Chains A and B, each alone.
Chain A
Amino acid sequence: MQTQKKPSYLSADHTIGSWLLTQDHKRIAIMYLVAVTLFFLIGSILALLIRLELLTPAGDLLQSESYNRVFTGHGVVMVFLFLIPGIPAVFGNFLVPIMIGARDMAFPKINLASFYVFLAGGVMILSAIVFGGLDTGWTFYTPYSSSYATGRVTIGALGAFTVGFSSIMTGLNFLVTIHKMRAPGLTWFRLPLFIWAHYATALIMVLGTPVVAIAIVMVALEHLFGFGFFDPTKGGDPVLFQHLFWFYSHPAVYIMILPAMGVISELIACFSRKRIFGYKLVAFSSLGIAIIGFLIWGHHMFVSGQSAYAGLVFSLITYIVAIPSAVKAFNWTATLYRSSVSWKTPMMYVIGFMGLFAIGGLTGLFCANLAVDVHIHDTYFIVAHFHYIMVGGTIMGYLGALHFWWPKMTGRMYSEAWARLSAIFVFFGFNLTFFPQFLLGYLGMPRRYHFYPEEFQFLNIMSTAGASLLGLGYLFPIFYLMWSLKKGEQAPANPWTAKGLEWETTSPPPTTNFDKTPVVTEEAYAYEK
């Protein structure tokens, strides 16, 4: 099916210019991979500082001012520079055109531009952190961020604005590509669920990001010119900022998790040799999460001063958003039932995801309850909840994707032994880090504090020990994956004997993805035939 003579996208041209000015979605994805990994490392170092400080009840490692800057930096870098771009910019960019049988994205130049805009925003955010730091929390609440914090906050916020632009460009590209460039025979209900997930993600990127963008512009205007949008001393309403901020930032958490769910669908089908149970329900559940996700942002604002009636409505609809997520979890479980499971590394991350996402999702129901949230808001319970979803969910999905498609992207196989070891470190390290935090939050330890009562120290020490284990689990892949580039065995076109158009081309693929446009005649995940 593929001629060996055609050069792969990696060997097509070796000059720097051919990489920096590439319009090939696969090269852009690799550049994103490098950038996102670097940002992840920076965010992890900041996390390490937090956990080191929290080993002792006194605020001894860092001063309060510095600690504010460390946790803000951790949040801003992880959310805007790793989790939101993460899977879509790396795996979405690489795989979406191939999975639908297209030569490239609809707008390759916009794709390249999105990468440079992302870098520019990243540089702005990092420079704000390096030159004294942002100390508002990643949520930039006003009037502190607009009227009382330093100018670096404006630069950092504008960096987030810039990164948001990159996100919009990516989302736009995905939507048009998926609508218009599917191969002949590839109807909507034959698409891989990875595509459905990225389609729903792109909808959120496009509809939500502009609102946080204008919120940031208004903060900048308030800081630079004294406009009083959010300043109570000028008749403004700080809660208005929170509405505009969370209108995006709640759907943003679905930008972070939906692509990971798409990954899980692909991996489960492959490693259980079975089609996904209830394909249509899973596809529609992605859309359902995206749409309902836009109606519930006020659950971040239960204690902010918004009206109790708004709180009631937000709380009720938040319960409803759990339903499409549960649909996915049950359908994946049903897929595994009576299947033939192969325990390769990607599957280990899948099982990890399913357990940890279940815990994260269920604890979300606690948070959704207005009365309960009055007590657990701004405590470590919330911190544990969202880390279970974002680390236990998204990062497991990211690592699963990395290990599953690494042979396709690089043409190399990695060491399965080291990969499995890392997965085990990640799973146990993660639970040891974050499970104690549920207890801490329930017992009343507030978030964003660097000193705490003596009785919380034991749980904090457990959490820091877990973080060290987790950190090792993240470091190992960098080494064995880099090693595989030079010394790993050559990967065949389909090392996992998986179904999907990406496995019907070489590893790595040629620049135009396929020798000739494929024609699709069977449904997705046709494993049993």
Chain B
Amino acid sequence: MSGHVVPLRIYFGIFAALMLLTAATVWAAFQDFGILNTVVALGIAILKATLVILYFMHVRYSSGLVRISAVIGFVFLVLLIGYVAADVASRGWMPAPAPIQSAPLH
């Protein structure tokens, strides 16, 4: 079958890295980085996911088309979450106008 065979040491190395990162994220949860808490947690998760994608899912050794697919998936995910969050975040920016005083109906 065609396809690059990844050496065993890489698989075990990546696994070790993933374990370390899991420990790191649990440790980081109990620290207070203030506003950076979410950034740290998400950052570690993204790093773990990237390792799984590149090595376990072979994207490191795959054709350009597969790589583009992975990137497009991520881009559209960010688009969906980002755009929706931007709407919710910006709702409070413009105060609602005062009610219009209109003439009473006959």
Contact = CB atoms under 8 A, between A and B. Distances in A.
A308 B87 contact: no
B105 interface: no
B76 A310 contact: no
A172 to B, nearest CB: 11
A50 to B, nearest CB: 31
A179 interface: yes
A305 B83 CA distance: 15
A308 B80 contact: no
Given A179-B65, A240-B84, A309 B90 contact: yes
Contact of B80 (A179, A211, A237, A309): A211
Nearest to A306: B87
A309 B83 CA distance: 11
A9 interface: no
A294 B79 contact: yes
B93 interface: yes
A310 B87 contact: yes
B4 interface: no
B93 A307 contact: yes
Size range of the interface on B?
A: 10 to 19
Given A179-B65, A207-B76, A298 B94 contact: no
Interface string B68-84: 00001000100110011
Contacts of A190: none
Interface string A365-382: 000000000000000000
Nearest to B72: A207
Interface in A211-267: 211, 237, 239-240, 243-244, 247
A294 B72 CA distance: 13
Interface in B37-85: 65, 72, 76, 79-80, 83-84
B86 interface: yes
Interface size class of A (residues with CB under 8 A): 10 to 19
Contacts of A239: 87
Nearest to A240: B84
Contacts of A179: 65
B90 A310 contact: yes
Contacts of A237: 88
A86 B87 CA distance: 34
Nearest to B94: A308
A309 B93 contact: yes
B80 A307 contact: no
Looking at chain B's contact residues, the main secondary structure is: helix
A298 B87 contact: yes
Contacts of B106: none
Contacts of B9: none
Nearest to B79: A294
B94 A309 contact: yes
Contacts of A307: 87-91, 93-94
A247 B86 contact: no
Interface of chain A: mostly helix, strand, loop or mixed: helix
A298 B65 CA distance: 31
Interface string A93-129: 0000000000000000000000000000000000000
Nearest to A207: B76
Nearest to B65: A179
A211 B80 CA distance: 9
A305 B93 CA distance: 13
Nearest to A247: B80
Contacts of B91: 305-307
Contacts of A298: 83, 87
Given A306-B87, A310-B87, A294 B76 contact: yes
Contacts of B65: 179
- Which of A239, A243, A307, A308 has the most CB atoms of chain B within a 10 A radius of its CB? A307
A390 B73 CA distance: 29
Interface string A309-324: 1100000000000000
Contacts of B80: 211, 247
A314 B86 CA distance: 12
Contact of B87 (A207, A211, A243, A294): A243
Contacts of B90: 307-310
B57 to A, nearest CB: 18
A243 B94 contact: no
A294 B93 CA distance: 25
Interface in A267-302: 294-295, 298
A307 B88 CA distance: 7
Contacts of A207: 72, 76
Contacts of B79: 294-295
A179 to B, nearest CB: 7
A309 B91 CA distance: 8
A207 B80 CA distance: 11
B94 A310 contact: no
Contact of A243 (B72, B76, B84): B84
Contacts of B72: 207
A294 to B, nearest CB: 7
A252 to B, nearest CB: 15
6 contacts: A179-B65, A244-B84, A295-B79, A306-B91, A307-B87, A310-B86
Given A307-B94, A309-B94, A310-B90, 19 more contacts: A207-B72, A237-B88, A240-B84, A243-B84, A243-B87, A247-B80, A294-B76, A295-B83, A298-B83, A298-B87, A306-B91, A307-B87, A307-B89, A307-B90, A307-B91, A307-B93, A308-B94, A309-B93, A310-B87
Q: Which 4 A-B pairs have the closest CB atoms?
A: A310-B87, A307-B90, A307-B91, A309-B90
